[in-house]
Amino acid sequence: MTSRLSLLAGLALMAGFSAFAEAPETAEDAGRATEADELSVNFREFVDEAIGEGLLTPADQAPVSASAPSEPTQLFRGRLSPTDAAAPVEVDSACISDAVLDLQAFEEFSTYEHFLNWRAEQVATGISLTPADVAMAYVSIGLYAEGRLQVSGMEDTDSRYIRNLSRLLEDGSVPDIELFEQVAACNMYGDIWLSLARLSLLDEKGVDLLDLNLMSYRRLPYRLKVRTASLAIPSLDRMGKTLLSEKLMADFSAEEIRRSQRLAFTRAMIDMNQGGIERERQLREFLNVPELRSETAAVLMRHGLPVEASLQDELVGDLLKNVQQLPRGSDVRASLETMLKGPGEISDYEMISELAELPAMQDPETRKLLGNQLAARLQKDFEGADRLASLAAMSAVGENEDILSGNSGHDQIVESAARFAGNIGLLSVMTALSEDIPDSEGLTSERAALAFRMQDFASLRDLTQTRSDNPDVMRLAAMAAVLTNDRAWLAKVASRVVLDTPTVVDLIETDAASGNWILPAAVYSAAERITQEDYRPRIDAVLALKFGKAEPRLQRIKLSEIPEHLSQISAALNSNFQEMP
C-alpha cells in the first residue's frame, strides 16, 4: 500500500504539470501530449475510485524535499509539492473566520478532477491560496490526511481546527471537543461539525443539533455528505433515533447507496429496525467486509442475534475505544449507558433495567428481589473468564446504581467493576466507579498504579491530595515527580514516602532511567545500606551510573580483604612514581 501511495504522489505531480503544458509543435509532440492526457484522465479516475472505496487516506508523513526548484506560486504543501521556507505563522486565539468553513466553493466537488479544475482557476485568476484553502479543498473530496499536511506544524486556530476536523472525518476521533464548541459558538458554519463530534462521542446533545442543521448537511460536498452520514448514523442507531437517520439517508438515491459500501451498510443497519430474515441476511453480508466486521457484529448483537465467537474480541475492542476516546472530563456514566446497549443480551442487563422502570416494580420488596437478581448476575460475570460479559457487567453497574444501592453486596460489586475497568486500562471509568464506595486501600493502590502506567500524572496528583496516607500513592507520586523532573512536587511528597527497600530501589531506578538525578542524597544513602542479595545487583548498577564517573564514593571492605586492597594501592602508587619525570 505504501508503494502505491508513493506512486500516486508522483502521478499527482505529473498530472498537475500536464494541466499547464504548452501546445505540441510536432506530430510526435502531439502523440506524446495525447498519451499524457490519457494518463491524466486515468489517474483522476483511479484517484476518484480510491477515495470512494476509502483506500486513499494515507497516514501523515514529513514533507519530502525535492531537488527541482519550486514553482513561483506555492499551491501544495507536503506530499504533492516540496515545502517552501514559510514565513512565521502568528498564533491567533480568536475564533476562526467564517470563510475557512464556508464550503460553498466546493459544493459541487465529488471527484479529483473537480479539485484540479478549481486549482487551475485560482492560478488563472491570480488568486493567492492559503494553506487553509487548499486543506479544505482536499477535505471536501475525502483526502483528509492530505488536508492535514497543508496545515501541519501551524498552530493558529484555523490550522488546529482543520486538523481536528480531518481526524473526526477520517476515523471518528475527537481529541478536542472544546475546540469544536468554541468555534461553533462564533462561526456560522461550525454547528454541523460540533453535532458530528458530539455524536461520535455518543452524546445525545448532538442529535438535536444535527436535526437543526439538516440544511447545512444537505449543502455539503458529496463526499463530505457521505462521510458525515456514515459517521452519524451508527451513533443515531445506538440511540434509537431512526427518524433522523432516515432524514440523512433521504439525500442519497438508490443508485448512490448501491455504489457506496458505507452507505449500503448504513441502509442495512437502519432496515434491521424493522426486523425480518431477509434484512438480517443483507446485514450479515457485511461481516465479509474487514473494516465493517465489528460494526456489523455490534448491530446484530443489539438486535439479539448471534455472532461468531471470533468476532467478540473485535467487539470488545470497539466498545473500549468508545470510552477511551472520551476527552478528560466527559460524562463517563453516559458512555456506560451506550456501552450497555451493545452486549446487553449476554446477561440480560438491558431487560433488568427496563423491568426496573415499570410501575409494578416500584414497591421496595419487588425492587429488592430485582436487585438481588442483578447482583447475582453481575458477580457471576465478574468472576467468569468471558471479557465481553465482564464488560457488559461493568457497564450495567453504572446504569443500575439505584437498583443496587440497597443490596448487601453493593460495595463488593462496584469494586469488582472498578477493578475490571482498571485491568482493561479505563482509568476514567475506574475513578468514577470508585467514588461510589468507601475508600479501599487496595483499589486506591490500583488506581495509582494505572495512573502512573498511563502517565496520567494529573490523576496521580489528585490522589496525593485525598489519599496521602496510602504508601503506594506517595511512592508512585515521587516516581512521577522524578520522571517529569518536577523538583517542587518531589519536595512536597518526599516526606510522606516510606523508604522501605522496594521503594528505595524503585526510586533510584526511576532516577537513573530519567537521567535527571534529582533524588536527595538521603535516598542513595539508604540504598547503600541495603544488604539483601536480591536487590544488590540492581542497586549497584544504579550507583555505578551515578557515581562511577562523577565522583568517588565510600566502599565497605571486609576485614579479610584489607591486605589485598593495600597491596593494590601500593602497586598503583609505585606505578605513578615510576612514570613521574
Sequence-distant (≥ 6) Cβ neighbours of residue 459 within 8 angstroms: 427, 431, 447, 451
Residue 95: which residues within 8 A CB-CB, separation 6 or more?
157, 182, 183, 185, 186, 187
What is the C-alpha to C-alpha distance for residues 188 and 532, in angstroms, rounded to an integer?
A: 69
Q: What is the pLDDT of residue 581?
A: 42
The pLDDT of residue 270: 94
The gap from C-alpha 246 to its chain's centroid, in whole angstroms, comes to 29
Under 8 Å between Cβ of 456 and 430 = no
* Complete DSSP assignment for 267-301: HHHHHGGG--HHHHHHHHGGGGSGGGHHHHHHHHH
Please give the grid coordinates belonging to residue 530. Answer: 541495603
DSSP codes of every residue in 308-344: -GGGHHHHHHHHHHHHHTSPTTS-HHHHHHHHHTTTH
**What does the pLDDT read at residue 564?**
62
In contact, 140 and 223? CB cutoff 8 Å: yes
Amino acid at 59: A
Per-residue model confidence (pLDDT) at position 361: 65
Exposed, middle or buried, 535 (CB in 10 Å: 0-12/13-18/19+)?
A: middle
Contacts by residues 39-45 (CB-CB < 8 Å, ≥ 24 positions apart): 39/11, 39/14, 39/15, 40/14, 40/15, 43/11, 43/12, 43/14, 43/15, 44/15, 44/111, 44/112, 44/113, 44/116
**Predicted local confidence at residue 317, as pLDDT:** 56
**Can you spell out the DSSP letters for 169-198?**
HHH---S-HHHHHHHHTT-TT-HHHHHHHH
Q: How far, in Å, CA of 51 to CA of 74, rounded?
A: 24
Whether 189 and 101 have beta carbons less than 8 Å apart is answered as: yes
Distance (Å, whole) CA 514 – CA 214 = 53
**What pTM was estimated for this model as a whole?**
0.49
CA 72 to CA 64: how far, in whole Å? 18
**Spatial separation of the C-alpha atoms in residues 288 and 310, rounded to whole Å:** 13
Q: What is the pLDDT of residue 4?
A: 44
Q: Are 314 and 297 in contact (CB under 8 A)?
A: yes
pLDDT value at position 336? 42
The tens place of each residue's pLDDT in the chain, 581 residues long, gives 444 444 444 444 444 433 333 344 444 444 444 444 444 555 555 555 555 555 555 444 444 444 444 443 333 333 333 333 344 444 445 588 788 888 887 877 777 787 777 877 877 887 778 888 888 888 888 888 888 888 888 888 888 999 999 999 998 888 888 899 999 998 888 999 999 999 988 888 999 999 999 999 999 999 899 999 999 999 999 888 999 999 999 999 999 999 999 999 999 999 998 888 899 999 999 999 988 888 888 888 888 788 886 776 666 556 545 555 555 545 544 444 444 444 444 445 766 776 677 665 677 777 777 788 788 888 888 888 888 888 888 888 888 888 888 788 888 888 888 888 888 888 888 888 887 777 777 888 888 888 888 888 888 888 888 888 889 889 999 999 998 888 999 988 888 888 899 999 999 999 888 888 989 888 998 988 988 888 899 988 998 888 764 444 455 655 566 566 556 555 554 544 444 44
b/e map of 64-91 (b: 16 or more CB within 10 Å)? eeeeeeeeeebbbbbbbbbbeeeeeeee
Helix, strand and coil percent figures for the chain, each rounded to 5: 70, 0, 30
Residue 8 is predicted with a pLDDT of 42
Identify the burial level of 31 via C-beta atoms within 10 angstroms of its C-beta, where 0-12 means exposed, 13-18 middle and 19 or more buried.
exposed
pLDDT of residue 257: 94
- Helix ranges (DSSP H) in 457-531: 457-466, 471-483, 487-494, 501-514, 521-528
Helices (H) and strands (E) in the chain, counts: 34, 0
Q: Give me the pLDDT at residue 90, please.
A: 44
